[in-house]
Structure 1
Amino acid sequence: MTVRDLVILPDPRLRATCEPVEAVDDEVRCLLDDMLETMYDAPGIGLAAIQVGIPKRLVVIDLAKEEEEPRPLFLVNPEITWTSEETSVYEEGCLSIPEYYEEVERPARCRVRFLDREGREQELECDGLLATCVQHEVDHLNGVLFIDHISKLKRDRVTKKFAKQARRDGTRLAG
């Protein structure tokens, strides 16, 4: 397993709509393993393939606490098929927008259909943090970031901050 580089805002790849995976094969499983290793290394609780620069509909999630046994969830071609009218608010962050957190309101429950690591069709009913995480990661596959769910003022502020940082880093690299 390899830790891959994360794609960071304002990289335009984060706005790409990801392509479906044709078949769950060894290459896809290897990418899922790399994504899981990258997510654990960051550390985070969810990661979409686009966040490592691969525009495929792949997500890894693990909500296990540090002292708990890992419980990785692999979602290939995930599709949210239902969301509750009831909402909940969680403070969200994103590995592609490091050290920025904001409260986001989303449906409290959702149902997701996906292929598992072996290519078998699954359906999962989610609530609480898992529902938030699934929605956050599926958003990534559609080019949507969690900052798109906050006020325009806050979104513009964080976008400008990361654009400025990217320019500084680019200048440093060129110098």
Structure 2
Amino acid sequence: MIGAMAESTAPVLPEGGTVRPMTRWGDPVMHRPARPVTEFGDALRDLAADMVATMYAAEGVGLAACQIGVDLAVFVFDCPDESGTSYRGVVCNPVLDLPEGKDRQLDDTEEGCLSYPGAFVPCARPDRARVTGQGLDGEPVEFAGTGLLARCLQHETDHLHGTVFGDRLSDRMRKKLRKQMEAAAEEYPETWPA
């Protein structure tokens, strides 16, 4: 399946949020599974609005709640697929479905993380992905795609399981990633992007 499917084909992301500082790798919230979302209401909508504002301020394509220090299984995204068509949404309690067997093809495009800013290295991931979960009101949502969208759905779901993409890299690639991040550190102070 290519593209995105949900109740609305182009969900409107919540607006009016506050840009928060980005939580970095090493903070415990980044390396443990997030709590499931069980309450859908104004507090969740406010959190999602802050996540959207932070994602846009950081010029990212996706953001998980742990990346602003919140231990909750929700992510937001505004990301193009392989064709360049952009999709956006909010996913609570995501379940990731990846191709297997002969349908599984890896894409080793460069990947980065807003919580480890300024660094990009190749990271092999399946070239297609599908995520199901719940929207801001608890309604079922489903998003699927190729290209950067497939990578984004996998990357953000990983965050909610306590996995950073560096966990998927070889020692050599992790060292390269660290050197890039350290070289760019002055551009990304602790309060970035707030």
Q: What's the TM-score once normalised by structure 1's chain length?
A: 0.82
Greater mean alpha carbon deviation, residues 151-160 or residues 112-121: 151-160
Q: Identify which of structures 1 and 2 has the higher relative contact order when contacts are C-alpha pairs closer than 8 Å and 6+ apart.
A: 2
1:39 CA displacement? 0.4
2:120–2:177 contact (8 Å) kept in structure 1: no
Is 1:57 equivalent to 2:57 in the alignment? Answer: no
Task: Report sequence identity in percent.
Answer: 36
Match of 1:148 in 2: 167
Partner of 2:108, secondary structure, is: strand
Q: Which has the higher helix share?
A: 1
2:18–2:54 contact (8 Å) kept in structure 1: yes
Please tell me the residue identity of whatever aligns with 1:150: L
Is 1:25 equivalent to 2:41 in the alignment? Answer: yes
1:116–1:122 contact (8 Å) kept in structure 2: yes
1:80–1:110 contact (8 Å) kept in structure 2: yes
Match of 2:56 in 1: 40
1:161 CA displacement? 8.3
Cα distance in 2, alignment partners of residues 161 and 101 from structure 1: 8
Task: Could you tell me which runs of 5 or more consecutive residues in structure 2 were left unpaired when the two chains were aligned.
Answer: 1-16
Q: Kindly tell me: are residues 157 and 86 of structure 1, through their superposed partners in 2, closer, same or farther at Cα, counting changes over 3 Å?
A: closer
Per-residue Cα deviation, 1:24-61 (whole angstroms, up to 9, x for no partner): 21110110010000000011111000000001001010
Partner of 2:133, secondary structure, is: strand
Task: Could you tell me which runs of 5 or more consecutive residues in structure 1 were left unpaired when the two chains were aligned.
Answer: 171-175
Partner of 2:112, secondary structure, is: strand
1:14 CA displacement? 1.1
Greater mean alpha carbon deviation, residues 147-156 or residues 35-44: 147-156
Greater mean alpha carbon deviation, residues 31-40 or residues 84-93: 84-93
In the TM superposition, what are the counterparts of 1:85-104 in structure 2 within 5 Å? 85-104=104-123
Q: Kindly tell me: are residues 160 and 129 of structure 1, through their superposed partners in 2, closer, same or farther at Cα, counting changes over 3 Å?
A: closer
Alignment size in residue pairs: 164
